Structure 1
Amino acid sequence: MTATATDWVTANQRFLSAALSVLTARLTGDDAESARRERDEARRAMPVPPAVETIGDAFGLSAFERDLVLLCAGVELDTALARACAAAHGKPRRPYVTFGLALATLPDAHWSAITPAAALRTWHLVELAQPDFPTTSPLRVDERILHALTGISYLDPRIAPLATPPPPVRALPDPLVAAADRVAACWSADAGPRTGRRAVRLHGRHRGDRCAVAVAASVGLGLRPVLVRADDLPSVASDRDLMARLCERETVLDGRCWLIEVDDAARLALDFAVRLRAPTVLISREPMPDEDEGLPQIEVAPADPGERRALWRRALDPAPGEWVDRVAAQFDLPLSEVDTLADEVDPADPNAGADLWDACRRRARPALDDLAQRIDTPTGWDDLVLPGPHLRTLREISAQIRHRMTVLADWGFAAQGSRGTGLAALFTGASGTGKTLAAEVLAADLRLDLYRVDLSQVVSKYIGETEKNLRRIFDAAESGGAVLLFDEADALFGKRSEVKDSHDRYANIEVSYLLQRMETYRGLAILTTNLKSALDPAFLRRLRFVVHFPLPDAAARERIWRRMFPPQAPTEGLDPAKLARLNVTGGTIRTVALSAAFLAAEADEPIRMSHVLAATRTEYAKLEKPLADVEVSGWTT
């Protein structure tokens, strides 16, 4: 607290003490003249009005209502005043204020002050302990008002548990400044005689940008933002109404405005906004309907790659060459965080571009970490054993991701429409042929995180839940820092069927929703399946690439065997040419090699053909596949 603020608190408390002495004299019948002189002297010494005056003016209290609030507060603050109340009642055990006592004691008294529609009870400045007996019921000052009268400010305890500190805001880029100005203009405009509301709907792709705009609008008007989740609002209408009055009271007392983040509780949030007559912004990802309430709708529009590139170049001086183009094309992060991420990079460092890329990649991770499984990708192109045409197709996929900025932004292809600007690929083939490994190699080559979507966590028997789960995954992946891997995609992307019952109808809706999201998804999504025929044909049109992973021939199997045992693993007498006679996939080869290594470790021996043979027999038995003599002919037993 500054010295000036401390001086005001001291002066306010002096004035409050003198004002309570005046009230005590009124109750006891003593001469109040000296107390009034002290009160008036304390008031003249204050360059800023005391709290009781600002509160009375803010809530439109009459002189009688203001004195009544002060009288109720005095009972809590001054024992002499409490004793005077008890004496006035003629009962020592009644050291409290009643409305009847106030009517008999205070000047300019009027009955309307105690009605529920009057300011005292509308704003919950005082509370009746027994509302059915308005004149004889004890009157208590609200604790928040009591402390405000003494100059102490804090967020009402009934609101504070629901509030989250809003994120700090640095200097914002021009598009966000423009959106914040529009919010502030709506708040500043006359709300109109019918509603008196000042709520605004704000939507946009990135939570960080939405919140930054709302906070900037608040700060620009000298307001103190409070962030609340719509899901935490009271579900009972009467409780919502009480909270709305308390929030309005905080706006009056402390200049607060209300930022309400909306997820699923849209109707609840809209109802609350209708009740709340204070600067309010409803923050959501998608546009919110307002049910004819006329609330302004403002969009925080996402930046296109060209705009993001300009922001990165401005934040980084000098900009690290082509890395800025790649970052702008790949990562659609909140614009409000560009400067913060740029601070993590030294533009003069030769590795500045790679550092910038990795900083953006780390920033994009949290959104997906709770929705899908991140897979480490310590692999490279040398780990893939595929025919030449297949490898060329995979490298083409990688090239298309790297050159997005050039083709879509600089060459203008993005202007032809937003659909299809992402990249979806289908990897088909038998289990173990390298589909997942290829996805890992692509992610490693692009320096992106690979996330496997767990279909057991996505598909739900409840209507609408599957689409909701998919929406959360695609929305989180829109930042661009990840490759999405849908393993066994036929379980999710299956053919639509003839509608025979409601189950078929909703299953088809799920597939249709997937078709729509695949059309608009701007990142890299990889689908794998060993049942291509089970996929809905409409998906094929939305797939940029379809890569069939064949069963490896003998030459390919030999190459896989040669790469299967790490250099540090002890081996003795392994013959890749003989091992390649096993007619199995690369995935099975890996399983056999790993099992053989454990057998050798248990025997405290180098890995030999005998260990591989034992592991092979176990694997073939698991697969219920006969081991032909020709496959192990010439092996050492």
Structure 2
Amino acid sequence: MSARRDFAANQQALDAALGDLSRYLHARRDGVTPLPKTWQRTPPALERVAQRLGLSRFEQEILLLAAGAELDTTLQQVLTQLHGDAQKPWPTFALALATLPEPDWAAITPVARLRRWQLLQPAGSGSALQARLVLDEAVLHWVAGVSYPEPRLEPWITPQSVPNAQVADAALDTLGARWQTAASLGSAPVARFEDADGEALVLQLAGQLDLRLYRLQPDLLPNNHAELDALARLWEREALLRNAVLWVELDHPEPGQATRLSHWLDELQGLVVVTGEGTLTLRRTQIPIEWHGADAGSRHLHWQAELGAEAMGHLNGRLGHIAEQFQLPASAIGRIAREWQGTSARDPDALWQACRSEARHDLDQLAERVQSSATWDDLILPHATLVTLRTLAAQVRQRTTVYREWGFAQRGGRGLSISALFAGTSGTGKTLAAEVLANTLQLDLYRIDLAGLVSKYIGETEKNLARVFAVAERSGAILLFDEADALFGKRSEVRDSHDRYANLEVSYLLQRIETYRGLAILTTNLKQSIDTAFQRRLRFIVQFPFPDTEARSAIWSRVFPLHAPLQQIDVSKLARLSLSGGHIRNLALNAAFLAADEHTAIGMRHLRVAAEAEFAKLEKPLPVADVGDWA
């Protein structure tokens, strides 16, 4: 009903404006002085067209004159009288310049708005000034209050349906602000959506900024320059009238096609977004945009919109933690939500695992994922060390509550990362503790090989680290930097450029660890080799002491699986060997293989042979006094 009322109101205003124009032209014909004032009533539809296209008052009056020649018989009669020819019931540029107030010669040139955007064109042969002005059919309908997508664009550019924006994204708002402040539409930056989820991002952009969306298939662009130019002019008019953005979808275009498209976009007056694979060489600024799930609040809203109220009831308040943990793109959130809703159980843990699996793909290419089933019972550590580790796990688990719900994140981003240094000799349980944390928190654990990331070429180490952290941010995985003292040792006194650059690499990694929203763990065998200034910037420092006899007894008591066949095993004798937990596990495993090869149960004899091999590996003599009574 509202649209019908608007149409009726516009028709009434248009009739009144054409009546005013007829009377004004009558007065000009009759030479009445003083001339009546220019009509004050502008039809709402014509006003919208003028506003969106930036038309001057004179250009508006030409459009109204051309529309009246099509719609109003009284105005047609006036035009024939002005021409002095009953066969010419139409306007011309010459007549408009001679009769309308405030004439502007620049407005009738081929490069001005009226003709550039094909609002009207001189028809017939002869001078453009004397030729009949023909109003474009679609523009006539616009002025009359009826709008629709331009059908002549359809072979190349087609309108797309845009969902209602349910999630606000700061990156897209920033892009919208850049577009609004651009000096001209031709200088507005081209948005390049580099995320694999480009389609969802474009739809999100259009919905959020309230833009109509049209899709261009570059392979269908005409080769002829004149046709390309005409298509550009027609699209510019459509984009302005309908407040639209052009979506260019690339699919590895051929070099010639990419060059033609680049030239066309450079000359285009309008907003452009690009997705897909391929390179465009543009004079216009290109802005790369990656969503990666926006912020946690936006992702939470998106999850709520996708799941609906009924499904939300099955999550027991865990959705905030999921939104905080996994930086998934919009399409992935929608797909996972639909798949999870299709399950009968609707288990919150299943949704968590689905997100975890989705978020890990890219990181698998850059680091080693450590599979873990270790639990707290597997850790034989002093009480104080276990308390620290459980506190660390609690901070990772509750950071959504503390940072978001309680507002600590609003105080600033510094100090919000969770980082730890695990210090202790080899085999004391540092990596095992990281595995326990990952299994407890249901997060992926990735071992980062610093030796593989550090490069002798200046700047390459930072690039390698940046790539790892950028990808890891999506899943919030636990990052384990093993033997970090190789890079994080006491920063050297600067003697040359290499020393200076090594210090820059350390500073860069410190910065990235401090801003990483997941848990970053660094391990070292020599805590004293780590710069104290660096240690102060870590939230936790966890000591892993060498196990004493009591701890070694506990480790030996748990090292053999329930189904492993055992002979008479004397744990007190085994605990005499001064070995760390890691070496004890190696020794027990080697003894198991010896027994299996003999088709017998594991006994002290097998353990002694394995102990000799383990000590040889450590380049230490096996203490005969400790194993002399092993049968």
Q: Normalising by the residue count of structure 1, what TM-score does the alignment of the two structures yield?
A: 0.62
Give yes or no for the alignment of 1:456 onto 2:446: no
Q: How does 1:111-150 map to 2 (within 5 A)?
A: none
Secondary structure at the aligned position of 1:224 is classed as strand
Which residue pairs with 1:174 in the alignment? Answer: 167
Q: Partners of 2:161 and 2:465 in 1: how far apart?
A: 31
Letter in 1 for 2:589: L
Q: How does 1:512-531 map to 2 (within 5 A)?
A: 512-531=507-526
Secondary structure at the aligned position of 2:541 is classed as strand
Which of 398, 401, 423 is matched with 2:393 structurally?
398
Q: Partners of 2:328 and 2:558 in 1: how far apart?
A: 39
Which of 237, 248, 256 is matched with 1:258 structurally?
248
Q: How does 1:477-496 map to 2 (within 5 A)?
A: 477-496=472-491
Which residue pairs with 2:583 in the alignment? Answer: 588
Given that residues 430 and 530 in structure 1 are in contact (C-alpha distance below 8 angstroms), is that contact kept between their aligned partners in structure 2? yes
Deviation at 1:207, TM superposition (A): 2.7
Given that residues 117 and 233 in structure 2 are in contact (C-alpha distance below 8 angstroms), is that contact kept between their aligned partners in structure 1? no
Which residue pairs with 1:563 in the alignment? Answer: 558
Cα 1:170/1:557, change in 2 over 3 Å: farther
Q: Partners of 2:162 and 2:576 in 1: how far apart?
A: 64
Deviation at 1:557, TM superposition (A): 0.8
User: 1:357-382 CA distances to partner (integer Å, 9 max, x unpaired)?
Assistant: 11111111012111100110111111
Deviation at 1:308, TM superposition (A): 3.4
User: 1:277-296 CA distances to partner (integer Å, 9 max, x unpaired)?
Assistant: 34544789xxxxx99x7778
Which residue pairs with 1:11 in the alignment? Answer: none
Which of 570, 588, 593 is matched with 1:575 structurally?
570
Which residue pairs with 1:214 in the alignment? Answer: 202
Which residue pairs with 2:426 in the alignment? Answer: 431
Percent sequence identity over aligned pairs: 46
Which stretch of the first structure deviates more once superposed, 583-592 or 505-514? 505-514
Deviation at 1:525, TM superposition (A): 0.6
Deviation at 1:538, TM superposition (A): 3.0
Given that residues 331 and 360 in structure 1 are in contact (C-alpha distance below 8 angstroms), is that contact kept between their aligned partners in structure 2? yes
Give yes or no for the alignment of 1:191 onto 2:184: yes
Q: Partners of 1:371 and 1:250 in 2: how far apart?
A: 48
Which residue pairs with 2:279 in the alignment? Answer: none
Give yes or no for the alignment of 1:617 onto 2:612: yes
Cα 1:398/1:631, change in 2 over 3 Å: same
Unmatched 5+ residue regions in structure 1? 1-56, 61-106, 109-150, 156-166, 229-242, 262-267, 285-289
Letter in 1 for 2:367: A
Deviation at 1:393, TM superposition (A): 0.8
Letter in 2 for 1:565: F
Given that residues 432 and 587 in structure 1 are in contact (C-alpha distance below 8 angstroms), is that contact kept between their aligned partners in structure 2? yes
Letter in 2 for 1:577: S
Q: Partners of 2:602 and 2:329 in 1: how far apart?
A: 52
Letter in 1 for 2:431: T
Given that residues 309 and 325 in structure 1 are in contact (C-alpha distance below 8 angstroms), is that contact kept between their aligned partners in structure 2? yes
Q: How does 1:273-312 map to 2 (within 5 A)?
A: 276-278=266-268, 279-281=271-273, 303-312=294-303
Given that residues 434 and 549 in structure 1 are in contact (C-alpha distance below 8 angstroms), is that contact kept between their aligned partners in structure 2? yes
Q: Partners of 1:578 and 1:178 in 2: how far apart?
A: 64
Cα 1:550/1:299, change in 2 over 3 Å: closer
Which residue pairs with 1:345 in the alignment? Answer: 340
Cα 1:248/1:487, change in 2 over 3 Å: farther
Given that residues 385 and 560 in structure 1 are in contact (C-alpha distance below 8 angstroms), is that contact kept between their aligned partners in structure 2? yes
Q: Partners of 2:418 and 2:181 in 1: how far apart?
A: 45
Give yes or no for the alignment of 1:628 onto 2:623: yes
Which residue pairs with 1:323 in the alignment? Answer: 318
Cα 1:254/1:185, change in 2 over 3 Å: farther
Deviation at 1:590, TM superposition (A): 0.9
Q: Partners of 1:248 and 1:590 in 2: how far apart?
A: 72
Which residue pairs with 1:30 in the alignment? Answer: none
Q: Partners of 1:383 and 1:170 in 2: how far apart?
A: 51
Secondary structure at the aligned position of 1:223 is classed as strand
Which residue pairs with 2:372 in the alignment? Answer: 377
Q: Partners of 1:529 and 1:588 in 2: how far apart?
A: 17
Letter in 1 for 2:317: E
User: 1:490-515 CA distances to partner (integer Å, 9 max, x unpaired)?
Assistant: 12323322322221222122111112
Secondary structure at the aligned position of 1:427 is classed as strand
Letter in 1 for 2:248: W
Cα 1:407/1:602, change in 2 over 3 Å: same
Unmatched 5+ residue regions in structure 2? 1-114, 119-124, 127-152, 236-245, 252-257, 277-281
Letter in 1 for 2:581: G
Letter in 2 for 1:406: T
Give yes or no for the alignment of 1:200 onto 2:190: yes
Which residue pairs with 1:355 in the alignment? Answer: 350
Cα 1:454/1:296, change in 2 over 3 Å: closer
Which stretch of the first structure deviates more once superposed, 572-581 or 206-215? 206-215
Which stretch of the first structure deviates more once superposed, 409-418 or 438-447? 409-418
Which of 403, 407, 426 is matched with 2:402 structurally?
407
Cα 1:259/1:175, change in 2 over 3 Å: farther
Q: How does 1:3-14 map to 2 (within 5 A)?
A: none
Letter in 2 for 1:207: D
Deviation at 1:190, TM superposition (A): 8.6
Q: How does 1:89-108 map to 2 (within 5 A)?
A: none
Cα 1:608/1:302, change in 2 over 3 Å: closer
Which of 354, 360, 369 is matched with 1:365 structurally?
360
Which residue pairs with 2:494 in the alignment? Answer: 499
Q: Partners of 1:529 and 1:180 in 2: how far apart?
A: 44
Deviation at 1:523, TM superposition (A): 0.7
Letter in 2 for 1:276: D
Secondary structure at the aligned position of 1:551 is classed as coil
Cα 1:301/1:576, change in 2 over 3 Å: closer
Q: Partners of 1:250 and 1:498 in 2: how far apart?
A: 66
Secondary structure at the aligned position of 2:562 is classed as coil
Cα 1:283/1:484, change in 2 over 3 Å: farther
Q: Partners of 1:579 and 1:622 in 2: how far apart?
A: 18
Letter in 2 for 1:199: P
Q: Partners of 1:533 and 1:370 in 2: how far apart?
A: 33
Cα 1:467/1:259, change in 2 over 3 Å: farther
Given that residues 178 and 188 in structure 2 are in contact (C-alpha distance below 8 angstroms), is that contact kept between their aligned partners in structure 1? no
Q: Normalising by the residue count of structure 2, what TM-score does the alignment of the two structures yield?
A: 0.62
- Aligned-residue Cα RMSD (Å) equals 4.5
Deviation at 1:576, TM superposition (A): 1.3
Secondary structure at the aligned position of 1:343 is classed as helix
Which residue pairs with 1:547 in the alignment? Answer: 542
Q: How many residues align structurally? A: 451
